[in-house]
Amino acid sequence: MTDTAHTRRTIPDRLGTKTSRILASWEVLLFGVAVLIFVFNAFASPYFLDAWNLSDATFNFTEKAMIAFAMALLVIAGEIDLSVAAIIALASTAMGAAAQIGVGTPGLVAIGIGTGLACGAVNGLLVSGLRLPSIVVTIGTMSLFRGISYIVLGDQAYGKYPASFAFFGQGYVAWVFSFEFVLFAVLAILFAILLHATNFGRQVFVIGNNEFAARFSGIPVERVKFVLFLLTGVMSGIAAVCLTSRLGSTRPSIAQGWELEVVTMVVLGGVSILGGAGTIGGVVIAAFVMGLVTFGLGLLNVPGIVMSIFVGLLLIITIAVPIIARRIREMR
């Protein structure tokens, strides 16, 4: 006891050590789950522990995870975008139509991302401009965007993409590392910085925790939300480029049901569905967990419908576990 001379008490910056806080986090628990699934898969199938097989496995989550990063920010801010898969359909349709009339690869990428941006702007204007609830708005635009795609395509498919367009979904940057996987890694870092290290990210957290207080503290709440919808639209556009390139064709049913898998990934990653809390690191681990599970089940020849049952269960369990755990803690 050396500093007894202080008249006013000094308040420590933090309690406990950094390691103790990290060890108690949801992300560490999730990482443990990922390791378990990895080990289980390795034992269950002799084909699993192969560099190229593992590289293939990453395609199960890279496109969805890109959207999940932006969705995580939206959910933390207390909003949601259920139209993301429909944006993929519309963006892919726009690219397909452009490819038919001979637009080159750079033009196609610009059209794909531009369509995503425009769709995001529609959502953003409806939610932050007219102050409508995002869950209703994006259910509406979900039908709207995919509906346009169905009107344009009917039961047809666009298929004539230029050869160089295949790189985004099928190309490799180095050894087993695909372009998609590298893009996923870069975006993960960029979004982690945006959410956790910038003023913008802090504003997202404050809006999600208390929108009134945010507004009363001078945060441009509507502008931040608009930017988040734009960002989600752009990420959906980028995912559309990758997916269209990988499949080499566009049908209106492309990426059907992805919005739920993206939301599952976000929630599994520890982002509070009520807003205000979450990390990009958690979403990254959740992406690996979902990818490994889908791939492992695929290796074991489990049919697709069982996989969707699994995803549904995963969503319910990840929402239920923290809530039940809190109740048990409170009862003591």
Partner 1 sequence: MPLRTQPIGTESTSVTVPILEMRGISQIFPGVKALDGVDIRLYPGQVTALIGENGAGKSTLVKILTGIYRPNEGEILIDGKPVAFAGAQAAIDAGVTAIHQETVLFDDLTVGENIFLGHAPRTRFGMIDWRAINSRARDLLQALESEVDPGIRLRDLSIAQRHLVAIARALSVEARIVIMDEPTAALSRKEIDDLFRIIEGLKRQGKAILFISHKFDEVYEIAENFVVFRDGRAVGQGRLRETPQEDIVRLMVGRDVKDVFPKVEVSIGAPVLRVEGFCHPTEFRDISFELRRGEILGVYGLIGAGRSELCQALFGVTRRSAGGLTLEGQPVDIRSSSDAIAAGIVYVPEERGRHGLALPMPIFQNMSLPSLRQTSRRGFLKAAGELALARKYAERLDLRAASLSVPVGTLSGGNQQKVVIGKWLATRPKVIILDEPTKGIDIGSKAAVHGFIGELASEGLSIIMVSSELPEILGMSDRVLVMREGLTAGLFDRQQLNAETLVRAATGNT
Contact residues for partner 1, defined by CB under 8 A: 8-15, 197-202, 205-206, 209-210, 212-220, 276-277
User: Whats the size of the chain, residue-wise?
Assistant: 332
Name the minimum Å distance from CB 224 to partner 1: 12
- Whose Cβ is closer to partner 1: residue 107's or residue 220's? 220
Euclidean distance between CA atoms 254 and 244, whole angstroms: 9
Minimum CB separation of residue 86 from partner 1 in Å reads: 32
At its nearest, how many Å lie between partner 1 and the CB of residue 99? 38
**Cα(first)–Cα(last) distance of the chain, in Å?**
35
d(CA 165, CA 243): 11
Residue (37 or 280) nearer to partner 1, CB: 280
Please state the closest distance from residue 327 (CB atom) to partner 1, in A: 14
Give the helix/strand (H/E) hosting 27: helix 26-44
Nearest to 73 by CA among 222, 288, 228: 228
Which position has the token pair 């049913």?
253
Q: Alpha carbon 315 to chain centroid distance?
A: 14
Residues 13-44 as b or e (16 or more Cβ within 10 Å = b):
eeeeeeeeeeeeebbebbbebbeebbeebeee
DSSP 8-state assignment for residue 177: E
Say which DSSP state 166 is in: G
Of 23 and 39, the one with the shorter C-beta distance to partner 1 is 23
Question: Considering the complex, what minimum distance in angstroms separates the CB of residue 10 from partner 1?
Answer: 7
* Nearest-approach distance from CB 8 to partner 1, in angstroms: 5
Q: Which amino acid is at 82?
A: L
Type and span of the H or E element at 217: none
How far is residue 62's CA from residue 75's CA, in Å, rounded to a whole number? 19
Residue type, 305: I
Q: Which is nearer to partner 1, 112 or 281 (CB)?
A: 281
Contact 192, 139 (CB under 8 A): no
Compare residues 12 and 154 and give the one whose CB is closer to partner 1: 12
Nearer to partner 1, 175 or 212 (CB): 212
Q: How far is the CB of 207 from partner 1 (least distance, A)?
A: 9
CB neighbours of residue 66 within 10 Å: 25
Nearer to partner 1, 136 or 197 (CB): 197
Taking the complex as a whole, how short is the minimal distance between the CB of residue 317 and partner 1, in angstroms? 24
Give the position of tokens 């909003």: 79
Q: Are strands 172-174 and 177-178 parallel, antiparallel or unpaired?
A: antiparallel
In the complex, least distance from residue 73 CB atom to partner 1, rounded to whole angstroms: 15
